[in-house]
Chain A
Amino acid sequence: QQQVKQSPQSLIVQKGGISIINCAYENTAFDYFPWYQQFPGKGPALLIAIRPDVSEKKEGRFTISFNKSAKQFSLHIMDSQPGDSATYFCAASVSGGGADGLTFGKGTHLIIQP
Protein backbone atom coordinates (compact mmCIF):
# COMPACT_ATOMS: atom_id res chain seq x y z
CA GLN A 1 0.00 0.00 0.00
CA GLN A 2 1.54 3.26 -1.14
CA GLN A 3 0.71 5.82 1.50
CA VAL A 4 2.20 8.82 -0.29
CA LYS A 5 1.55 9.25 -4.01
CA GLN A 6 3.72 11.71 -5.92
CA SER A 7 3.33 13.21 -9.39
CA PRO A 8 4.60 13.80 -11.96
CA GLN A 9 7.33 11.19 -12.25
CA SER A 10 9.41 13.56 -14.35
CA LEU A 11 9.17 17.26 -15.17
CA ILE A 12 10.94 19.58 -17.57
CA VAL A 13 10.73 23.34 -16.93
CA GLN A 14 12.36 26.27 -18.66
CA LYS A 15 14.76 28.41 -16.67
CA GLY A 16 12.83 31.10 -14.82
CA GLY A 17 9.61 29.10 -14.85
CA ILE A 18 7.62 27.60 -11.98
CA SER A 19 8.08 23.93 -11.11
CA ILE A 20 5.14 22.26 -9.39
CA ILE A 21 5.20 18.80 -7.81
CA ASN A 22 2.18 17.26 -6.12
CA CYS A 23 1.69 14.68 -3.40
CA ALA A 24 -1.31 13.00 -1.83
CA TYR A 25 -1.38 10.99 1.36
CA GLU A 26 -3.76 8.49 2.93
CA ASN A 27 -2.83 8.25 6.59
CA THR A 28 -4.65 11.01 8.47
CA ALA A 29 -2.26 10.54 11.40
CA PHE A 30 0.57 12.11 9.38
CA ASP A 31 1.43 15.52 10.81
CA TYR A 32 4.82 16.36 9.34
CA PHE A 33 5.33 16.82 5.59
CA PRO A 34 8.88 17.48 4.37
CA TRP A 35 10.28 17.76 0.87
CA TYR A 36 13.73 16.36 0.13
CA GLN A 37 16.10 17.17 -2.72
CA GLN A 38 18.49 14.50 -3.95
CA PHE A 39 21.38 14.88 -6.38
CA PRO A 40 22.94 11.83 -8.07
CA GLY A 41 25.22 9.91 -5.71
CA LYS A 42 24.08 11.89 -2.68
CA GLY A 43 21.65 11.29 0.12
CA PRO A 44 18.37 13.21 0.33
CA ALA A 45 18.63 16.67 1.91
CA LEU A 46 15.76 18.46 3.59
CA LEU A 47 14.48 21.35 1.51
CA ILE A 48 11.42 22.60 3.35
CA ALA A 49 8.77 21.10 5.63
CA ILE A 50 5.27 21.94 6.81
CA ARG A 51 2.88 20.90 9.55
CA PRO A 52 -0.90 20.81 9.03
CA ASP A 53 -1.64 23.81 11.21
CA VAL A 54 -0.68 26.12 8.31
CA SER A 55 -1.76 26.07 4.67
CA GLU A 56 1.40 27.50 3.16
CA LYS A 57 5.07 27.89 4.00
CA LYS A 58 7.61 29.82 1.97
CA GLU A 59 11.38 29.75 2.15
CA GLY A 60 13.10 31.75 -0.55
CA ARG A 61 12.04 30.38 -3.95
CA PHE A 62 10.45 27.27 -2.42
CA THR A 63 6.83 27.14 -1.24
CA ILE A 64 4.77 24.29 0.20
CA SER A 65 1.01 24.48 -0.18
CA PHE A 66 -0.99 22.19 2.09
CA ASN A 67 -4.66 21.16 1.81
CA LYS A 68 -5.64 19.14 4.86
CA SER A 69 -9.19 18.34 3.74
CA ALA A 70 -7.98 17.00 0.40
CA LYS A 71 -4.96 15.29 1.99
CA GLN A 72 -2.69 16.88 -0.58
CA PHE A 73 0.41 19.02 -0.53
CA SER A 74 2.60 20.47 -3.22
CA LEU A 75 6.01 22.02 -3.78
CA HIS A 76 6.36 25.13 -5.91
CA ILE A 77 9.80 26.25 -7.09
CA MET A 78 9.68 29.83 -8.34
CA ASP A 79 12.19 31.20 -10.86
CA SER A 80 13.54 27.68 -11.44
CA GLN A 81 17.28 27.49 -12.10
CA PRO A 82 19.45 24.81 -13.76
CA GLY A 83 20.98 24.13 -10.34
CA ASP A 84 17.54 23.01 -9.17
CA SER A 85 17.75 20.01 -11.50
CA ALA A 86 17.52 17.03 -9.13
CA THR A 87 15.11 14.40 -7.86
CA TYR A 88 12.55 15.66 -5.37
CA PHE A 89 10.77 13.49 -2.84
CA CYS A 90 7.78 14.35 -0.73
CA ALA A 91 7.46 12.51 2.55
CA ALA A 92 5.23 12.27 5.58
CA SER A 93 5.53 11.08 9.14
CA VAL A 94 3.81 11.02 12.49
CA SER A 95 5.67 13.05 15.08
CA GLY A 96 5.90 12.06 18.70
CA GLY A 97 5.09 8.44 18.15
CA GLY A 98 5.66 7.56 14.53
CA ALA A 99 8.50 5.16 15.06
CA ASP A 100 8.76 4.13 11.42
CA GLY A 101 10.14 7.47 10.37
CA LEU A 102 9.39 8.93 6.98
CA THR A 103 7.14 7.50 4.28
CA PHE A 104 8.41 8.74 0.91
CA GLY A 105 6.79 9.28 -2.44
CA LYS A 106 8.44 7.72 -5.49
CA GLY A 107 10.15 10.93 -6.52
CA THR A 108 10.05 13.47 -9.32
CA HIS A 109 13.01 13.89 -11.65
CA LEU A 110 13.14 17.63 -12.37
CA ILE A 111 15.12 19.06 -15.26
CA ILE A 112 15.48 22.82 -15.66
CA GLN A 113 16.43 23.73 -19.20
CA PRO A 114 18.69 26.79 -19.59
Chain B
Amino acid sequence: GAGVSQTPSNKVTEKGKYVELRCDPISGHTALYWYRQSLGQGPEFLIYFQGTGAADDSGLPNDRFFAVRPEGSVSTLKIQRTERGDSAVYLCASSFLQVGDTEAFFGQGTRLTVV
Protein backbone atom coordinates (compact mmCIF):
# COMPACT_ATOMS: atom_id res chain seq x y z
CA GLY B 1 0.00 0.00 0.00
CA ALA B 2 0.96 3.61 -0.38
CA GLY B 3 0.35 4.70 3.20
CA VAL B 4 1.26 3.65 6.74
CA SER B 5 -0.64 0.51 7.68
CA GLN B 6 -1.46 -0.52 11.24
CA THR B 7 -2.92 -3.82 12.37
CA PRO B 8 -5.18 -4.68 13.96
CA SER B 9 -7.56 -1.72 13.68
CA ASN B 10 -9.16 -2.67 16.96
CA LYS B 11 -7.96 -4.86 19.81
CA VAL B 12 -9.89 -5.81 22.91
CA THR B 13 -7.91 -7.62 25.58
CA GLU B 14 -8.32 -8.59 29.18
CA LYS B 15 -6.40 -6.88 31.94
CA GLY B 16 -3.08 -8.61 32.49
CA LYS B 17 -2.77 -9.99 28.96
CA TYR B 18 0.03 -9.34 26.46
CA VAL B 19 -0.62 -7.52 23.18
CA GLU B 20 1.34 -6.74 20.04
CA LEU B 21 0.50 -3.89 17.68
CA ARG B 22 2.01 -3.82 14.21
CA CYS B 23 3.05 -0.93 11.98
CA ASP B 24 4.02 -1.13 8.30
CA PRO B 25 5.61 2.19 7.35
CA ILE B 26 5.82 3.70 3.91
CA SER B 27 8.52 1.94 1.91
CA GLY B 28 11.86 3.72 2.12
CA HIS B 29 11.02 5.73 5.22
CA THR B 30 13.86 5.44 7.70
CA ALA B 31 12.18 7.19 10.61
CA LEU B 32 9.31 5.54 12.49
CA TYR B 33 7.41 6.92 15.47
CA TRP B 34 4.86 5.49 17.87
CA TYR B 35 2.36 7.78 19.60
CA ARG B 36 -0.49 7.17 22.01
CA GLN B 37 -3.71 9.18 21.75
CA SER B 38 -6.13 9.14 24.65
CA LEU B 39 -9.73 10.23 24.18
CA GLY B 40 -9.97 13.96 23.60
CA GLN B 41 -6.22 14.46 23.68
CA GLY B 42 -3.44 15.03 21.20
CA PRO B 43 -1.03 12.25 20.31
CA GLU B 44 1.77 11.73 22.83
CA PHE B 45 5.20 10.54 21.77
CA LEU B 46 6.27 7.05 22.83
CA ILE B 47 9.32 5.98 20.83
CA TYR B 48 11.33 6.89 17.72
CA PHE B 49 13.29 4.54 15.47
CA GLN B 50 15.91 5.57 12.98
CA GLY B 51 16.50 2.44 10.94
CA THR B 52 16.59 -0.57 13.23
CA GLY B 53 17.60 1.23 16.40
CA ALA B 54 15.46 3.03 18.94
CA ALA B 55 16.94 6.52 18.83
CA ASP B 56 14.69 7.78 21.61
CA ASP B 57 12.38 5.75 23.87
CA SER B 58 11.89 8.45 26.48
CA GLY B 59 8.13 8.50 25.95
CA LEU B 60 7.50 4.89 26.92
CA PRO B 61 5.50 5.13 30.17
CA ASN B 62 7.08 2.14 31.93
CA ASP B 63 8.90 -1.12 31.35
CA ARG B 64 5.70 -2.92 30.33
CA PHE B 65 6.02 -1.17 26.98
CA PHE B 66 8.59 -2.25 24.43
CA ALA B 67 8.98 -1.79 20.67
CA VAL B 68 11.16 -3.35 18.00
CA ARG B 69 12.02 -2.76 14.37
CA PRO B 70 14.40 -5.61 13.57
CA GLU B 71 14.82 -5.07 9.84
CA GLY B 72 14.35 -1.33 9.70
CA SER B 73 10.87 -1.55 8.21
CA VAL B 74 7.95 -3.12 10.12
CA SER B 75 7.71 -2.24 13.79
CA THR B 76 5.88 -3.95 16.63
CA LEU B 77 4.79 -2.26 19.84
CA LYS B 78 4.51 -4.76 22.66
CA ILE B 79 2.61 -4.22 25.89
CA GLN B 80 2.93 -6.68 28.75
CA ARG B 81 0.51 -7.15 31.66
CA THR B 82 -1.96 -4.70 30.15
CA GLU B 83 -3.85 -2.34 32.44
CA ARG B 84 -7.15 -0.53 31.88
CA GLY B 85 -5.20 2.74 31.72
CA ASP B 86 -3.42 1.47 28.60
CA SER B 87 -6.68 1.83 26.66
CA ALA B 88 -6.07 4.36 23.89
CA VAL B 89 -5.46 4.69 20.17
CA TYR B 90 -1.89 3.81 19.29
CA LEU B 91 -0.65 5.68 16.23
CA CYS B 92 2.35 4.95 14.08
CA ALA B 93 3.98 7.52 11.81
CA SER B 94 6.84 7.32 9.35
CA SER B 95 8.93 9.87 7.51
CA PHE B 96 11.70 9.71 4.92
CA LEU B 97 14.05 11.49 7.26
CA GLN B 98 13.48 12.74 10.78
CA VAL B 99 10.23 14.65 11.27
CA GLY B 100 10.82 18.36 10.95
CA ASP B 101 13.10 17.70 8.01
CA THR B 102 10.45 15.81 6.07
CA GLU B 103 6.72 15.23 6.46
CA ALA B 104 5.46 12.56 8.84
CA PHE B 105 2.64 10.32 7.63
CA PHE B 106 0.34 8.66 10.16
CA GLY B 107 -1.48 5.37 10.03
CA GLN B 108 -5.13 5.07 11.03
CA GLY B 109 -4.18 3.75 14.44
CA THR B 110 -4.98 0.71 16.56
CA ARG B 111 -7.71 1.23 19.12
CA LEU B 112 -6.74 -0.80 22.19
CA THR B 113 -9.36 -1.51 24.82
CA VAL B 114 -8.35 -3.26 28.02
CA VAL B 115 -11.31 -4.71 29.92
Chain B residues within an 8 Å CB radius of A98: 98-100
Complex contact A102–B108 (CB within 8 A): no
Q: Which of B11-19, B41-49, B63-71, B73-81 contacts A (4 or more CB under 8 A)?
A: B41-49
Complex contact A94–B100 (CB within 8 A): yes
Given contacts A100-B45, A102-B43, A102-B45, contact A42 B58 (CB under 8 A): no
Complex contact B55–A89 (CB within 8 A): no
In Å, the complex CA distance between A71 and B35 comes to 25
Most buried by A among B40, B59, B100, B103: B100
Known: A101-B93, A102-B43, A102-B99. 18 other contacts (CB 8 A): A32-B99, A36-B106, A43-B91, A45-B106, A93-B99, A94-B100, A95-B98, A95-B101, A98-B98, A99-B50, A100-B48, A101-B45, A101-B48, A101-B99, A101-B104, A104-B43, A104-B44, A107-B41
Number of interface residues of A (CB under 8 A): 29
A34 to chain B, nearest CB (A): 8
Most buried by A among B98, B99, B107: B99
Given contacts A98-B100, A100-B48, contact A107 B40 (CB under 8 A): yes
Interface: B20 (CB within 8 A): no
Which residues of A are interface residues toward B (Cβ below 8 A)?
Answer: 6, 31-32, 34, 36, 41-46, 49, 89, 91, 93-107
**B106 nearest CB neighbor, chain A only:** A43
Give the bracket for the number of chain B residues in contact with chain A: 20 to 34
B87 to chain A, nearest CB (A): 16
Given contacts A32-B100, A94-B100, A100-B48, contact A44 B55 (CB under 8 A): no
Interface: B112 (CB within 8 A): no
7 A-B residue contacts at CB 8 Å?
Answer: A34-B103, A36-B106, A43-B4, A44-B106, A95-B101, A100-B59, A107-B41
